[in-house]
Structure 1
Amino acid sequence: MKPVVKQPLLVSAVLLAALSVAWAQPVAEPAKPAAAEEEIIRISKDKWIWMAEKKVEPLAELFDDKAVFVHMGGSMSKQQELDTIKGGGIHYKHAEIQETSVRFIGDTAILLSRLRLDAVVGGNEVSNPFTVTEVYVKKEGKWRLGSLSFTRMMR
């Protein structure tokens, strides 16, 4: 009687098991390059300058049509925010940025900033510490601001 050859069968089974384990491993999303982080930070800094200078044209281009702006007193649409800046209801005089971080989820960037904001609100000069959350979405190759939220911090 001829011996049964089991070696090729055993090798195939081990190879199949190893491949199925490898295929089951989650694929890590490639890290966004530092250049993308720098671009988001630059856009955010430009935004603060435009807000201080009441330059609503570049802000209108940056703000997505569906953007929402969350302030201490409520939320605003894109048009309400632009009208408030243009009309002086809020004059963002200066944002002293103390710390910034950026995280990416696909084509969405979340920028967190710790800052001190000097502003004139309803004719009253104020200076408050905030954590500001900015959400940017890449649409048609350009970053658009989808949300800007202010969280007042304790001094």
Structure 2
Amino acid sequence: MTKIKLLIIFLVSYSFTQLAFADDTAEQLEALSDSKWEWMAAKEIAPLQQLFHPNAKFVHMSGSWKTDRELEIIKSGSIWYKKAAIHDRATEVVGDTGVVWSRITLTAHVRGNDVENEFTVTEVFSKVDGDWKILGLTFSKVRDTHEIEH
């Protein structure tokens, strides 16, 4: 076998390994996203504090703020994320960065009322010291017919 054939075999094998790694990482990020919704619904601050990077930014319909305020909002219940029904999701991983787009129906308790809204939520993850951290979480109001391109 020539050196070029060996090199091609190595590169193809390496590419498939990288694709499998990206798939595993995407599944891990999606599981973290699912856990995040459960923790938010249960107002479990400790695991959220571990998941949210201290300098993360959260963008809502009513404004944007950093981690400390988001955790206080969850803890106090001023926004109670009761249930996020996920209808569609796409995840991309590039190196130590991952983005999870989820089309959801969010049931929340806000200012004394239960409300339901359709959102596409964009979560930006980064691997920091070996752990995945959320750097950004953005709620984009969409119609219930909105589709995420895969």
Task: Confirm or deny a common fold (TM above 0.5).
Answer: yes
Equivalent residue number for residue 65 of structure 1: 54
Equivalent residue number for residue 142 of structure 1: 131
Equivalent residue number for residue 92 of structure 2: 103
Alignment root-mean-square deviation, CA = 2.0
Distance 2:27 2:143 in 1: 28
Gap regions ≥5 residues in structure 2: 1-14, 145-150
Equivalent residue number for residue 128 of structure 1: 117
Is 1:87 the counterpart of 2:110? The answer is no
1:138 counterpart letter in structure 2 = K
Contact residue 101 and residue 120 of structure 2 kept, 8 A? yes
Gap regions ≥5 residues in structure 1: 1-27
List structure 1 segments (4+ residues) > 4 angstroms apart after TM superposition: none
* Structure of higher CA gyration radius: 1
What number of residue pairs does the alignment pair up? 131
Is 1:33 the counterpart of 2:22? The answer is yes
Equivalent residue number for residue 3 of structure 1: none
Distance 1:100 1:140 in 2: 27
Taking structure 1 as the reference length, the TM-score comes to 0.79
Taking structure 2 as the reference length, the TM-score comes to 0.82
Secondary structure of the structure 1 residue equivalent to 2:58 = strand
Secondary structure of the structure 2 residue equivalent to 1:47 = helix
Secondary structure of the structure 2 residue equivalent to 1:154 = coil
Secondary structure of the structure 1 residue equivalent to 2:80 = strand
